[in-house]
Amino acid sequence: MKQNLLDLNYEDLKYFLSEKIGVEEKKLNMRAQQIFTATYQKGLNDFEKFTTIPIDLRKELSKKISFNDSKIVETHESSDGTLKFLVELFDGNKVECVYIPEKTRGTVCVSSQVGCSLTCTFCRSGTQKLVKNLSVSEIVSQIILVKDKLKDWGDQKIVSNIVFMGQGEPLLNKNLKKAVAILKDKNGLNYGNKKITVSTSGIATKIAEAANEIGTYLALSLHAPNDKLREEIMPINKKFKIKDLIKQLKYYTSVVKEPIFLEYVMLKGVNDSIDCAKQLVKLMAQFPCKVNLIEFNSWPGVKFEPTERKDIEKFSKYIQDKGYMSFIRRSRGDDVLAACGQLRTESQKRKST
């Protein structure tokens, strides 16, 4: 079976070229750089087109290395220009990712798992049981596929930002670290720490590790300012309390030197009162952070309703008046179920026989 190139970081590739291809040591760095540049900066996926590499070596590489085994099988375009892609993986499972165009940037929202194990009550992804963690190549290929679709292989970088806010809990996937390393590699896709955001529902035991080994922006899906309310809508809070999260988030900001983004979906009559805003301000006072207030995106069968815009603005103003940064994130792509909390596929865990 061929080695999938997108599963290899730069050092892995050098090792593979040495041990499996027989490239001499003094040429390892050059060959790895040529392959990474052609793949991640020019979007090439056929060794025949790697013209900087000798023909004999290209033939040998073709025998032992494959490129991306994932493919886009459906594309849905929202009225606001947002694109949702259904990606079929090598094993037949499917996952969704989203491209969100804005005036000053273009963001790809990436999934890290097929399904999700966390069952947050307001999130459609949580209604699909966890099928599996995505491999490194299955994560990286989402960006590659979107860049291909947008013909984004020039210097302009249409895809300027990457957020791990799709299906799944990123910090529960051990492949996240290597995938992010490939995204950040200067020989590869070359996205800086400030162009990548990893979101977590609050896996407190993994946050310090992420600070030391990943180092990107971190977003916490908070959605409630106290344990009682958070446990009602996010069962993960029964295991990791808010005080535990605060301790770890303080550590994260001390290492990465950037504020935490607090994600807070506004649910009518649930977490949108001024009393909740007061509690949220007390929480925000404990570590460097900003809050994104998210319009709730409805989906079939959900019991929650979105907070009215005027009440979101009132909530946001209260936080700003207390001296903290609060932003209202408008919904994008909800007409094609591409908005925050709406991603889901029909993939199911296969029973072992």
Residues serving a catalytic function are: 96, 340
Residue by residue, DSSP assigns 195-229 as GEEEEES--HHHHHHHHHHT-SEEEEE---SSHHH
Place of tokens 């983004």: 261
User: Residue 301, Cβ neighbours under 10 Å: how many?
Assistant: 7
Of the candidates 137, 133, 138, the one whose C-alpha atom is nearest the C-alpha of residue 170 is 133
Please report the sign of the dihedral spanned by the C-alpha atoms of residue 47, residue 51, residue 55, residue 61. Answer: negative
- Report yes or no: 149 and 75 within 8 Å, Cβ to Cβ: yes
Overall size of the chain counted in residues: 353
Of the candidates 124, 138, 119, the one whose C-alpha atom is nearest the C-alpha of residue 4 is 138
- For residue 337, the number of C-alpha atoms closer than 13 Å in the C-beta half-sphere is 13
> Which residues is 198 bridged to in the sheet?
164, 218
Please report the sign of the dihedral spanned by the C-alpha atoms of residue 304, residue 86, residue 334, residue 229. Answer: positive
